[in-house]
Copies of this chain bind each other. A is one copy, B any other.
Amino acid sequence: MEKEGSMSLVVVGSVALDSIESPHGCVENVLGGSAVHFSLAAALFTKVRLTGFIGEDFPPEHVALLRDRGIDLTGLHAKPGKTFRWKGRYHEDMNLRETLAIELNVFGEYEPEVPADYRDSQFVFLANGSPEHQLHVMDQMTAAQFAVVDTMDHWIRSSLPVLETLFKRVQGVVVNDGEARLLTGKDGIAAAQAILDMGPEYVIVKKGEHGAIMVGHGETFLIPAFPLADVRDPTGAGDTFAGGMMGCLASAGAVTPANLRRAIAYGTVIASYNVEDFGVRRTVSLTLADVERRLEAFRHMVMF
């Protein structure tokens, strides 16, 4: 599965059991979590090293599914207690997510430990989590060349100084437009530029159905979202986007503005599949050939 020149990729994040309601239906206790959505997307390109916690209630078939996709589960630590659970609801406007219940369980009880075998990974994705834990992960990595951090409003409000330290330690920051506004008091390209001034080399602002902006190395990249008539479940779209992007980059082996543009386009397309069905249902059935086909259609849609 790994190409010559490809770099190893580690992700640290949540492994969850999600219960989701949307106008298109509902599911209970399905496989989810940032590290899962990320890994399933990245696994289309490269072997991913997953780090996360599961409880005693985690169904073994989920472990088997991840293993079948070639994901390295050395860092998937089983702990006494229950798996992280999230319950949420989407309304007609899918941009508005309502969290109905959240049980951190084992995800809230342990500091992430990166297995010794993972520590020389060159590509690192720190999925949304406590900035202290994210810094702790960076301290364990010995050869990181391209580390990217995601965060959310909660951490921006509660741990901004730690986040600012972290932004100087990583090469990339991925946030959504609301988080970018909260971080900088600005919008759009001005927000992205202001985050760039906080330390990273590249900043990617995700705008949901409106696509994404990337700035860095004197470049600006604008990409729409792949247009979909029906979105059934947006859960995990951001992590799937990041997984596609990081998997593609790690597989390419070098981070250049051109490779990053291409990687963001792949991430956009894989995320567009992810939201077509609940949980990881659509992503697990994807092949790289499916993705390439939609990417070509997408490329035609943006040409002028």
Identify the A interface with B (CB < 8 A): 187-190, 193, 207, 209-211, 213, 220-224, 227-230, 261-262, 264-265, 299, 301-304
Contacts and interface: CB of A to CB of B under 8 A. Distances in A.
A301 to B, nearest CB: 5
A224 B303 CA distance: 11
Copies of this chain per assembly: 2
B227 A224 contact: no
B304 A229 contact: no
25 contacts: A188-B229, A189-B227, A189-B228, A190-B229, A193-B229, A207-B210, A210-B211, A211-B222, A211-B224, A220-B227, A220-B301, A221-B304, A222-B227, A222-B301, A222-B302, A223-B224, A223-B302, A223-B304, A261-B303, A261-B304, A262-B304, A264-B304, A299-B304, A302-B302, A302-B304
A229 B189 CA distance: 6
A193 to B, nearest CB: 7
**Which residue, A193, A223, A228, has most C-beta atoms of chain B within 10 A?**
A223
Nearest to A266: B304
**Which residue, A189, A227, A301, A304, has most C-beta atoms of chain B within 10 A?**
A304
B188 A221 contact: no
A229 B187 CA distance: 8
Contacts of A265: 304
Contacts of A301: 220-222
Given A188-B227, A221-B302, 18 more contacts: A187-B209, A188-B209, A189-B228, A189-B229, A207-B210, A210-B210, A211-B222, A211-B224, A213-B227, A222-B227, A222-B302, A223-B224, A223-B302, A224-B224, A261-B304, A262-B304, A264-B304, A265-B304
Contacts of A190: 229-230
